[in-house]
C-alpha cells in the first residue's frame, strides 16, 4: 500500500471514530436533558401504587372535597398540615393519563393540581420519599392513586 493511501485510510478511521464519539456524547446529552416526571407512581406493601411528586413525596386526597367542584374544602387550619400540591407542567409516566390531571385555583389565587377531579395535597409529617404517614388520618385523608380514588 502506498503511503498516500495508508494516510487516507488512517484519516478516515480517525474521522469515523471522532464522529462516533460525538454522536455518543450527543445521545447521552439528549437523554440527560429529558425532563423527569413531575408526578410519578410509587408502590408500598399494604398501600399499593400511589402518586408522588418529582421527589417521591406522597400525594393525598381529602374525602371531604367534592371532586370536579373546582374547589378545596381544606381551610386555613387544614392547610397548615395539608398544603396543596401544584406542578406547573405535568409530566407523568405512561401508566397514567394526562386527561386525569387539571388545576384549580383558590380564592387567593393559589394553584392546586387535581387528579380525577380531586385536589392533591402533601402531608407535613411525611419527611422522606415513601412516607405515607397521612394515610387514613381521621378516616378522611388517603393516598391518591390509580386504584385508590373513590
pLDDT the model gives residue 12: 45
pLDDT band, residue 18 (cuts 50/70/90): very low
Do 62 and 3 reside in the same domain of the chain? no
Give a yes or no: residue 149 inside a domain: no
- E-strand ranges in 17-149 read 39-44, 48-53, 60-62, 101-105, 111-115, 118-119, 141-143
* Mean pLDDT score, 69-78: 92
pLDDT digits (tens, 9 = 90+) for 98-143: 999 999 999 999 999 999 999 999 999 999 999 999 999 999 999 9
- Domain that includes residue 21, residue range: 1-34
Cell, residue 5: 493511501
Give a yes or no: residue 14 inside a domain: yes
Strand, helix or coil for residue 91: coil
pLDDT the model gives residue 28: 41
Count up the domains in the chain and report the number: 2
Amino acid at each position: 500500500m502506498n503511503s498516500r493511501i495508508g494516510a487516507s485510510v488512517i484519516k478516515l478511521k480517525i474521522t469515523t471514530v471522532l464522529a462516533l464519539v460525538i454522536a455518543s456524547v450527543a445521545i447521552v446529552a439528549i437523554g440527560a436533558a429529558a425532563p423527569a416526571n413531575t408526578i410519578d407512581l410509587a408502590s408500598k406493601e399494604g398501600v399499593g401504587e400511589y402518586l408522588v411528586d418529582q421527589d417521591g413525596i406522597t400525594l393525598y386526597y381529602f374525602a371531604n372535597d367534592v371532586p370536579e367542584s373546582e374547589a378545596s374544602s381544606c381551610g386555613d387550619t387544614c392547610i397548615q398540615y395539608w398544603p396543596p400540591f401544584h406542578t406547573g407542567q405535568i409530566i407523568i409516566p405512561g401508566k397514567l393519563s394526562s386527561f386525569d390531571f387539571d388545576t384549580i385555583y383558590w380564592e387567593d389565587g393559589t394553584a392546586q393540581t387535581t387528579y380525577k377531579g380531586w385536589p392533591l395535597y402533601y402531608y407535613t409529617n411525611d419527611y422522606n420519599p415513601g412516607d405515607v404517614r397521612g394515610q387514613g388520618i381521621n378516616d378522611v385523608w388517603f393516598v391518591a392513586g390509580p386504584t385508590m380514588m373513590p
